Amino acid sequence: MKLNERHLMQLAAVLDGGGVSEGAGLLGLTQPAVSRSLAMLEARVGEPLFVKGRRPLQATPLGAQLAAQGRAIITASRRASDAVQGFVKGTSGVVRIGGVPFFMDAIISRMIATFQNTESEITFEQSYLNLPEIVAALQGKQIDLGIVPIGTLDLGPSFDFTEILPGRNVVTCRPDHPLLLKRRLQAQDFVTYPWVAPLPGSPLMSDLQMILMSIGMSDLNIRYSGGSLMSVVHYLAETNALAVLPFSVVFAQRRENKITVLPYDIPQPNRSLGILRLKAGPQSPAADRFAGYVVTAFEELKHVIKRHENSVVWGS
């Protein structure tokens, strides 16, 4: 037997309101319309839904069971309406974000956490991707946002790139590294120590090759590769190894005091970190809301990072 869901909702409202007129008012309907619906429902089930002669209205056992289902429908309907409103306003939903691993771990993951402190109805799905994978994932509608460094590469009119931080790379080491005791660093100083290789596919790999060329070196003593940001930090903290990292990533680790900047001015990439999105097609309001949050947060953060950068006495 199939019952009309609207009739069940009206039955629940009438019982909760204590009368037909009150129930009609709760639903924004007229009293005659609700009375007709209840009569149709009783005819459909073939049993009375109310105990005769009771005021306020009292449900029969069957009426109470059907009213419980009606309340569940009302609750589901209200939740569905709230979900639609939340999606449209960008206060609920899912944000699918992909980005370069080290920067996602060092900065963006923390921003996601602080964002969710006030936007608790938004869920994040994070992926580690470099630029080619991010472009493909955006085109395939697999992610909403990409956090990625981009240089002079033109991705065409289909993409929108919002810069959030100028790119700067540095050589990093542990705070008590022997090279920090030297008054003036020379290029040949780097030959003596082992290095950590950037992740495969990372733009830091090409940056490392550029550094090699600038200081007249043909090769480095790579002793560790393929690690996550935390594993690289821990490895540097326990060895005399060196690594090339974005200055912003080292800045984000400053309170841990496990790695620091080696003050040697290296060639810098013509690259900025930012948010990459598709221009066309349906947009996720929640993703737009988070993108705006990231841009606003970096307006302040990039000035703090720049002051920290300017405090370093760079050699060459």
Which CATH class name applies to 5-88? mainly alpha
Arithmetic mean of pLDDT, 9-31: 88
Arithmetic mean of pLDDT, 147-167: 85
Q: Per mean pLDDT, which range of 71-75, 79-83, 192-196 is the poorest?
A: 79-83
Predicted pLDDT of residue 167: 84
What average pLDDT does the structure give for the chain? 88
Query: What is the per-residue pLDDT across 88-108, written as a single tens digit (0 to 9) for each?
Result: 777 788 999 999 999 999 999
Q: Retrieve residue 11's tokens.
A: 């039955």
Beta strands 222-224 and 159-166, pairing class: unpaired
10 Å Cβ neighbour count for 198?
A: 23
Predicted pLDDT of residue 206: 78
Predicted pLDDT of residue 53: 76
Percent of the chain residues past pLDDT 90, beyond the cut: 44
169-262 shares the fold of 95-163+272-305: yes
Instruction: At 125, give phi and psi (nearest 5°).
Output: -120, 110
State how far the Cα of 20 lies from the Cα of 43, in Å rounded to an integer: 17
Predicted pLDDT of residue 279: 87
Predicted pLDDT of residue 316: 53
State how far the Cα of 307 lies from the Cα of 25, in Å rounded to an integer: 62
10 Å Cβ neighbour count for 76?
A: 11
By C-alpha distance, which of 270, 307, 29, 276 is closest to 135? 276
By C-alpha distance, which of 187, 107, 119 is closest to 147? 107
By C-alpha distance, which of 6, 13, 3, 5 is closest to 42? 3
Residue ranges per structural domain of the chain: 5-88, 95-163+272-305, 169-262
Predicted pLDDT of residue 315: 57
- DSSP assignment of 40-63 equals HHHHHHTS--B-TT-SS--B-HHH
State how far the Cα of 140 lies from the Cα of 134, in Å rounded to an integer: 10
> Do residues 80 and 22 touch, judged by C-beta distance below 8 A?
no
State how far the Cα of 19 lies from the Cα of 307, in Å rounded to an integer: 69
Looking at 3.40.50.2000, 3.40.50.1820, 3.40.190.10, 3.30.950.10, the CATH number of the domain 169-262 comes to 3.40.190.10
Q: Retrieve residue 157's tokens.
A: 């009119």
Q: CATH homologous superfamily of domain 95-163+272-305?
A: Periplasmic binding protein-like II (3.40.190.10)
31-45 helix and 20-27 helix, angle to the nearest 10 degrees: 110
> Do residues 276 and 206 touch, judged by C-beta distance below 8 A?
no
